Amino acid sequence: MNSDTIKRRSATAECRPQGGISSRTSKTYPRLLQETLDQQWTQTKPKWFITIQWTPAAINFETASGHSKLFRNKLLTTIYDCHLKQLPEPQDRCRLFWFHERAQDPKGRLIYHSHLHLTQLPPPYSTQHQLELLIQHKVAPAFRCLKNLYRKQDPSVVIKPWDQKHHTNYNHKDYYTYKYHQDSDLVIDYELSDLIFTK
C-alpha cells in the first residue's frame, strides 16, 4: 500500500473508526503508517507526551479529532506567530502525532481522550514549564473542552517527557491480542498527524 492510497483512505469514514476498531479496519490498518512513524521517531524523537481529557467527554472518534484539530491549530499558530495557511511545512517545524483512546468513565460510558506525541518546540517554548504556560494562556482560554485544566485530580492536560522505552511501542499493540483491554481502540489520527511519506 503506497502513501497515495493511505491519503485517499484517510478521507473515508471506514478509516475513522467510531466505537472501536472493527475487524475490517484492523486487517487493513496500513503497515506503512507504523513503519513511517517508527522511522520518523528514530530520526527525530518526540520530546513530550501529552494526555488530554476533553470536557465534555468526546463520545466518538470524530469529536476527539475535531477538538484535537482546534488544539493543534491554536498551538502552532501561536508558536510560529502566523496564520494557519502560513505555517511552515511539517519538516520545518515541530511535529505533532495524535492518537485517540477509548476508555470507560466512572459512569460506565465509553469515551475518548487523546494522546499527543510532540517533538521539541523552538525557544521560548522549549521547556515543560513554558509549554504549560503556552497551553494555559494561549490555547485553553475560551476553549471549553479544556475547562478542567487546573483540576487537581485528573486535569484536562498532563504533560510528561516522552519516554522511548514506553512510548515507542505504546500505540502498536495488536488489536486481537488486546481487544479486551482498556486501550484496544487506541488509533492514530493520521489526517491530523505530521507524517512525512517518502517515495
Cα Rg, the chain, nearest whole Å: 16
Through-space distance between the first and last CA atoms of the chain, rounded to whole angstroms: 12
Cell, residue 94: 515541530
Q: Report the distance separating Cα 73 and Cα 87, nearest Å.
A: 10
Q: How confident is the model at residue 83 (pLDDT cuts 50, 70, 90)?
A: very high
Task: Output the pLDDT for position 19.
Answer: 41
In the three-class reduction of DSSP (H, G, I as helix; E, B as strand; rest coil), residue 21 is classed as coil
Cell, residue 164: 522511548
* Segment among 11-25, 69-83, 87-101 with least mean pLDDT: 11-25
| Mean pLDDT of all residues in 188-199 | 81
Residues constituting the chain:
199
Task: Output the pLDDT for position 182.
Answer: 52
Q: How confident is the model at residue 77 (pLDDT cuts 50, 70, 90)?
A: very high
Cell, residue 62: 470524530
- H or E stretch at 39: helix 31-43
Cell, residue 117: 506525541
Task: Output the pLDDT for position 71.
Answer: 96
Of all residues in the chain, what percent carry a pLDDT higher than 90? 47
Q: pLDDT higher for 191 or 159? A: 159
Would the pLDDT of 146 be above 70?
Answer: yes
Q: Is 92 exposed, middle or buried (0-12, 13-18, 19+ CB in 10 A)?
A: exposed
In the three-class reduction of DSSP (H, G, I as helix; E, B as strand; rest coil), residue 158 is classed as strand
Q: Report the distance separating Cα 175 and Cα 168, nearest Å.
A: 17
Every domain of the chain and the residues it spans = 3-188
Q: How confident is the model at residue 190 (pLDDT cuts 50, 70, 90)?
A: confident
- What digits encode the pLDDT tens for the residues 108-134? 888 999 999 999 999 999 999 999 999
Q: Contact, 102 vs 20, CB < 8 A?
A: yes
Q: Contact, 100 vs 116, CB < 8 A?
A: no
- What digits encode the pLDDT tens for the residues 46-67? 999 999 999 999 998 899 999 9
Q: pLDDT higher for 91 or 177? A: 91
Task: Output the pLDDT for position 7.
Answer: 43
Tell me the whole-structure pTM to 2 decimals. Answer: 0.79
- Which alpha helices (DSSP H) does 80-181 contain, by range? 128-134, 164-167, 175-178
Task: Output the pLDDT for position 169.
Answer: 66
Q: Contact, 87 vs 77, CB < 8 A?
A: yes
